[in-house]
Structure 1
Amino acid sequence: MIDLGYSLSPRFPDPAQLDYRTVDVRTLRHDLFCGDVYIADTKEDRELSTAWGWVPVLDFAWALCDIVEQLDTDPRGSRSARPVHAELDFTESTDRMLFERRFGWVDIAADWMPADEPPLTFNHAALRREARDFLHDLIADLTDLHESLGDNPVVWDLQVRFPRV
């Protein structure tokens, strides 16, 4: 079972005077909604999380959805034994989350994990579903905080590009 979550940092509040209807892609992805994120395997009671307070959570959700799709480029899909790799770079550091898909399973590790700790492993289809649900739930939460964000065309495009599964 996959659990994706986030917390917004009080150290980096989003500007109240900003018109969220017109915020561009770069600002949405890198300058707003900072906090921490986690991916947990509830069955194994293990998680991979950040504890930095500055991770742009919307960018993380967006990038995770992109990565899940990137991992699905092999035409053989879940029958493919050839590993497909992807990584998520955190903008303000050298840390990365590393993804590897083989057959229908995705291993997720991170640079900051102890070397002897095994990666989290999830079914690709379940990860796709959870990543998209996380993105839509996050957008709903952020729109509750900043109502005009719901009128931003970039957010509309993002929701259409990654519909709930």
Structure 2
Amino acid sequence: MLDIGYSLSRRFPDPPQTDYRRAEVTALRHDLFCGDVYLADTEADRELSTAWGWVPVLDFAWALCDIAERLDRDPLGSRASRPQHAELDFTESADRMLFERRFGWVDVEADWMPGDEAPLTFAHGELRREARDFLHDLIADLSELHEPLADNPVIWDLQARFPRVPS
């Protein structure tokens, strides 16, 4: 089972003068809410995580939802034998998280993983559902910390673009 999580950094706090209600896409995706993220396979007790403290966690959630959709562009869907690839690059470094979908399964690995370590593997539907749940849960958490964020039109659009997927 896939678990996606985050922690906010105390070393890289958001600027105190931030107007969360009017924050633009660039600020929301690259300048605010820095911390660390992880993807975990709870059944295999394995995790792929960052430990840098500066990863924009809202951008990570947003990008993960985009990737789940990109990996589903083949008209054959889960019957497609041709691999479909996507990558999530981390702006402040050369590190990347790599995604490969074949049939209904997605392998996830990262540049910083040891070379002999197998990728984490999840069902594509599970990745899509968990990524969207993570995004909505993260927005709820961040809106609890910064109430005006809930009134930001960019956040409204983001939630509408990636609604929760029923289980």
TM range (shorter): over 0.9
One-letter identity of the residue aligned with 2:119:
P
Aligned to 1:103: 103
Runs of 4+ in structure 1 off by over 4 angstroms are none
> Secondary structure of 1:64's partner?
helix
Q: CA separation in 1, counterparts of 2:20 and 2:137?
A: 18
One-letter identity of the residue aligned with 1:32:
L
One-letter identity of the residue aligned with 2:87:
E
Residues 1:81 and 2:81 are matched in the alignment: yes
Q: Which moved more, 1:28-37 or 1:17-26?
A: 17-26
One-letter identity of the residue aligned with 1:69:
E
- Where in structure 1 are there 5+ consecutive unaligned residues? none
Deviation sequence 1:78-132 (CA, Å, 0-9, x none)? 0000000000000000000000000000000000000000000000001100000
Q: CA separation in 2, counterparts of 1:31 and 1:16?
A: 13
Q: Cα distance, 1:18 vs. partner?
A: 1.4
Aligned to 2:42: 42
> Secondary structure of 1:15's partner?
coil
After TM superposition, the score normalised by the length of structure 1 is 0.99
After TM superposition, the score normalised by the length of structure 2 is 0.98
- Where in structure 2 are there 5+ consecutive unaligned residues? none
Aligned to 1:51: 51
> Secondary structure of 2:69's partner?
helix
Q: CA separation in 2, counterparts of 1:139 and 1:14?
A: 15
Q: Cα distance, 1:15 vs. partner?
A: 2.3
Number of aligned residues: 165
One-letter identity of the residue aligned with 1:136:
H
Identity of aligned residues (%): 79
Aligned to 1:159: 159
